[in-house]
Structure 1
Amino acid sequence: MKKRLIKALGIIVLCCYYSLQAIAQQEPLYSQYMFNGMVINPAYPSMDESPSLTAVGRNQWVGVDGAPKTATASFYTPVKATNTSLGFSLMHEKITVNTQTAVNFNISQRVKLNDKVYLAMGLKGGMSQFKEDNSSLSTTDPAFAHNQSYWKTDVGFGFMLFTDHFFVGISSPTFQSINLGASANKVDVSSHYYLQTGYLMTINDNVKLKPNVLLRQVKGAGLQYDLNANILLKDLVWLGVSWRSEKTMTGLVQVQATKNLQIGYSYDTPVQSNLKGAQTVSHELMVNYRFSLSKWKVVSPRYF
């Protein structure tokens, strides 16, 4: 009984800590988003001319009981000769006693401004189910006396201006969230806004450099940013490093295992941790498969 009580108290403390973090960031946090741009911007699929299937698993704050664990899968494909792309995504995240399961659908359209520049607009819509397994807590607090389950809608948008070597995008993947039904203890989801840009520089035939900047703004919180740079060696291996304004550093590697299959891993470590005595590093694994539209057309390299 004593052990259960200590565990429950630990979970409640983590809930409080995470709620403070959530003021700044409520959406799942990824480290390899620059290779999986639809999670940031619904217009991103218009930058790719091949169908793409991506799966991501993230284990955050290793060693902390009840820390976030996230799994996502997404797919998009261009529609023949229409400059339209369609896609969908699935997400499941567990944090302490809370779980969120979401399904979203995506449509984007691009237009050609001149021989080199394109403009794309994307829309996202879907639903999320939130659950609270309060029965696992050893507490007499009436606010946690019963399990909870409720639904929310999710609507987002995004714009991308891009060429073969440059892009800039502005988006709000969670622009509006509406409660469905009645339930206590519902999470208030704030609007999220992103401004992202990147540039591909060719150093020589074997080396390319891609710096990226991401600005994040959540309603009620200050401006945050990510700075990252990735080097591509012989069109086979990406090596990257990132600095997040929350004082977190990330190292990543992406390997082009075959012409269609890309596998990536990232490792996050805080420069300064507020969770005493815990190993607060994070691991993320990503697998991407890009399909050939026909057996005669080779999948072109994707740099963004």
Structure 2
Amino acid sequence: MKKNYNCKEPLLAVLSLCLLLLVTGHSAFAQEQAFSYTQYMNNLTPFNPAYSLLDKTGSIHTLARKQWVGIDGAPVTYVINGNVPIESIDGAAGLIVFNNQLAIEHQTEINAYFAKGIQLTPESYLGVSINAGIRNYVANYSALDASDPTFKSDVRGTKPNIGFGVMYYTDWYYLGIAAPELTITSLGTASIQNGTNFKSHYYLSGALLTNINEDIKFKPATLISYAKGVPLTANISGTFYTKETLGLGINYRTDNVMAGIISINVNSFHVGYSYQFGTSSANLGGFNNATHEISITFRFGKHASDFKLL
């Protein structure tokens, strides 16, 4: 980024207080949101497409997430999103593809989005975004036991999806709220996953970038997600960057999971890896199913070599 500010800025205290109240005002939960990944602080666009306005170059982001390694049918998630800037109108447009497999259930979501920035002051902007697409859901119950009448019928459906996002941002922090998954109609009650995967989801996010010294920057971030009938979940992370190249961070989620994160920024490429594990006494004292997550980003265009840390 072009500018970085220190922790004495008055707005930092306000931002930190707001995030603290939102996070600590809720207890820990064991149920996970349908759409979640650890490295949100490096690619927030799938949660809030208005975030794409913070980067003034084109980019392609890919992410693969394997949960609960060692358990058959454990969740596997793939996300790819690409965006291109529209500099003449301070806008951006792109595509998000999400694919999730959980045992016999398979969900695919495709959304196109458009975002527009509005300059409020010389150093602050308001970004708004809209997205639209489809969600496809398949549950192959017959694969469990075709001879059992309980599992004779598979569940399949494709439904439209719309969403929006709003983000206030500067060169050193942002605050955003978004509802990228507003399902127009539901699939019914044939699958237990309908209660999570096809509800409308809401996200509140915030982050800031500050200098520790000439070579080290620190970036705290949070992502709070909610859906009706699904417990609120808060992600809290902190990442230290050395010479804007090597990033080392930690993430805690309020359903008792934690992750270590490492990232490397070289020219137009970003590569990240996270290792997530449970923090409850049952996990730490016994069998703990880890989650591995890998992300790769390629940036292109005239600003591609100036890697965006925020």
Question: What is the TM-score normalised by the length of structure 1?
Answer: 0.85
How many angstroms does 1:152 deviate by? 1.6
Is the contact between residue 32 and residue 266 of structure 1 (CA under 8 Å) also seen in structure 2? Answer: yes
| Number of residues of Structure 1 aligned to a counterpart in Structure 2 | 278
How many angstroms does 1:80 deviate by? 3.3
Please name the residue that 1:12 is paired with. none
Asked if residue 219 in structure 1 is aligned to residue 225 in structure 2, the reply is no
Please name the residue that 2:10 is paired with. none
Paired AA for residue 264 in structure 1: G
Higher relative contact order (CA 8 A, sep 6+): 2
Distance (whole Å) between structure 2 residues aligned to residue 168 and residue 303 of structure 1: 15
Q: In the alignment, which of 39, 42, 63 is matched to residue 35 of structure 1? A: 42
Asked if residue 255 in structure 1 is aligned to residue 264 in structure 2, the reply is yes
How many angstroms does 1:148 deviate by? 2.7
Q: In the alignment, which of 137, 142, 145 is matched to residue 138 of structure 1? A: 145
Please name the residue that 1:68 is paired with. 75
Q: In the alignment, which of 101, 114, 130 is matched to residue 123 of structure 1? A: 130
SS of residue matched to 1:303: coil
How many angstroms does 1:223 deviate by? 3.0
Structure 1: gaps spanning 5 or more residues: 1-19
Q: Deviations over 1:190-233 (max 9, x none)?
A: 22111111111111111000111222222123432111100010
How high is the sequence identity, in percent, across the aligned residues? 28
How many angstroms does 1:253 deviate by? 0.5
Asked if residue 265 in structure 1 is aligned to residue 270 in structure 2, the reply is no
Is the contact between residue 134 and residue 159 of structure 2 (CA under 8 Å) also seen in structure 1? Answer: yes
Paired AA for residue 45 in structure 2: M
Structure 2: gaps spanning 5 or more residues: 1-28
Q: CA RMSD in A?
A: 2.3
**How is 1:78-117 mapped onto 2 (pairs within 5 angstroms)?**
78-117=85-124
Distance (whole Å) between structure 2 residues aligned to residue 176 and residue 135 of structure 1: 26
Question: What is the TM-score normalised by the length of structure 2?
Answer: 0.83
Q: 1:135 to 1:274 in 2, by over 3 A?
A: farther
Distance (whole Å) between structure 2 residues aligned to residue 43 and residue 218 of structure 1: 20
Q: Deviations over 1:130-152 (max 9, x none)?
A: 11222321365434203332112
Is the contact between residue 154 and residue 176 of structure 1 (CA under 8 Å) also seen in structure 2? Answer: yes
Q: Deviations over 1:104-144 (max 9, x none)?
A: 10110001111100100011111121112223213654342
Asked if residue 302 in structure 1 is aligned to residue 308 in structure 2, the reply is yes
Moved more, 78-87 or 271-280: 271-280
Paired AA for residue 32 in structure 1: Q
